[in-house]
Structure 1
Amino acid sequence: MAVLAELTIDARSFDLGRVTAVEEGIHIDLERVVPTGGEVMPFFWASGADFEAFERSVRENHMVKELNAVARVQDKVLYHVHWGDTVSSLTNILIESHATILEAHGTDTWFFRLRFSDHTDLTEFHNRCQEEGIDFRVDRIYSLADEEPGVYSFDITAEQQEALVTAVEDGYFEVPRRTTLKEVAESLQISPQAASERVRRGANAVLRKVLLSRSAADRK
């Protein structure tokens, strides 16, 4: 049975993390992963950055052969990176343990949600990381069967949840508002732009899950 693992890992443990951790306040979201063959971690979104300085720093890295901005949407940019002489062993371990990256994002610290075919592959991943000296913190391990029916799984990131909780507790959604996004950002020690994105994305995911799912159920 498929096994899912959620873990936290230092950006310095893999190529994309090392290459993109160059600007204060930058946030990276992995867009697509090709698990076997071809390119690994070729597309990612960047937000909350001075994009010109960010692009210049990334292109100067010896591991990057080419970096292209594919799309610009509001305050985010989708990049396609062509890797040169990479050194990360994490990507190799992911391939060897047949892992599928369902979600990955971060700054200095990254969150990964991985799916393995079974516990054997998960154990292989763990053992290979130990051999290579790659440290990570396991936040959760579960199977698809462990997801309880009738309980909302909002599918928001830990950072989005933290931002939403802070915004709610400090009164950002009240009328009149008791706080601002700038103050929320200060509480989280992130940029106002990053705080805005996390609150909007998190709120959108929660509202869509609650309102649209309930509406669909009412129509049955």
Structure 2
Amino acid sequence: MGLVAEFEIDCDALPLTGVAAAVPEATVVLQLQFNHGPRPMFLVTVTDGPKQAVEQAFDDAYDVAEWSLVGTAGATRRYQARPALSFEAQLGDAIDDLGELEALARADAIIERIEVQKDGWRQTGWFADREEFGAFSSFWQHHAGFRLCRLTHDGESESSGSGLTDCQQEALRIAYERGYFEIPRRTSLEEIATELGISPSSASERLRRAQTQLVEETVAPTWPPLPD
């Protein structure tokens, strides 16, 4: 089963971070158009932020050679920009082995959204399995800051920002409020299961999955990769 991940990469060498820093009130979403040769064109959607300030930021950006306004819809504007630098020139000082980055681009993964921030990118992506996501997260942990915001299996219901399904959140909340995690416990697994309307074995599995999810989101991304 595939995984859906939302995460932040803390690396201000990534494209267009200077634009996001110059206009912090704007939301800057980037698409890379890889059908434009070795330097993929930037398709940039900007929501909010003064138009003049945004376009001045494009003018001042060291990594933008030229840009054009494609269209406007209310507070949203779409731009196309030609990069001034290759990925090698842009990221060479931040990443030791760009070959690894190129390998990631060929992985079984789809990056669905890139929101540019002043100190890096916030991305949402689909990954074929934990091995593919592990390679991706390990690369960025080694070369930059990496923070996992949400990780779910595809097809699961999810609660934005936590990575837990609604059922997992409910189980954790009831277990916590009833004192299941206290020492000594003030309630039993059977009582938790009764309140949830499920069997004790199902309640136990739900709690374990929720706890595993929280570890993956908070602790696991900070661990260094295990040695081979």
State the TM-score, normalized to the length of structure 1.
0.55
User: What residue in structure 1 maps to residue 138 of structure 2?
Assistant: 127
SS at match of 1:42: strand
Q: CA deviation at 1:140?
A: 1.8
Tell me if structure 2 keeps the 8 A contact 1:35–1:99.
Answer: no
RMSD (CA atoms): 3.2
Q: Is residue 103 from structure 1 mapped to residue 117 from structure 2 by the alignment?
A: no
Q: 1:114 aligns with which of 118, 122, 125?
A: 125
Q: Distance in 2 between matches of 1:36 and 1:128?
A: 25
Q: Which residue of 126, 133, 141 corresponds with 2:151?
A: 141
| Structure-2 change in CA distance of 1:15 and 1:94 (3 Å) | farther
Q: Which one has a bigger Cα radius of gyration? A: 2
Give % identity. 20
The CA distance in 2 between the partners of 1:84 and 1:112, in whole Å, is 23
TM-score, normalised with respect to structure 2: 0.54
Structure 1 residues 10 and 131 mapped into 2: Cα distance closer, same or farther (>3 Å)? closer
Counterpart CA distance in 2 for 1:92 and 1:23 is 30
The structure-2 alpha-carbon separation of the partners of 1:20 and 1:108, relative to structure 1 and needing over 3 Å to count, comes to closer
CA distance in 1, matches of 2:114, 2:153: 19
Query: Which runs of no fewer than 5 residues in structure 2 stay unpaired?
Result: 163-228
Query: 1:135: how far off?
Result: 0.8
Per the TM alignment, residue 113 of structure 1 is displaced from its structure 2 partner at its CA by 1.0
Measured at CA, do residues 93 and 62 of structure 1 come closer, stay the same or move farther in structure 2, by a change above 3 Å?
farther
Q: Which residue of 2 aligns with 1:2?
A: 2
Once superposed, which parts of structure 1, at least 4 consecutive aligned residues long, lie more than 6 Å away?
Answer: none
Alignment CA distance shift 1:56-1:68 (3 Å): same
Query: Deviation at 1:117?
Result: 2.2
Cα distance in structure 2, aligned partners of 1:94 and 1:35: 15
Runs (5+) with no aligned partner, structure 1:
159-220
Q: Which residue of 2 aligns with 1:65?
A: 65
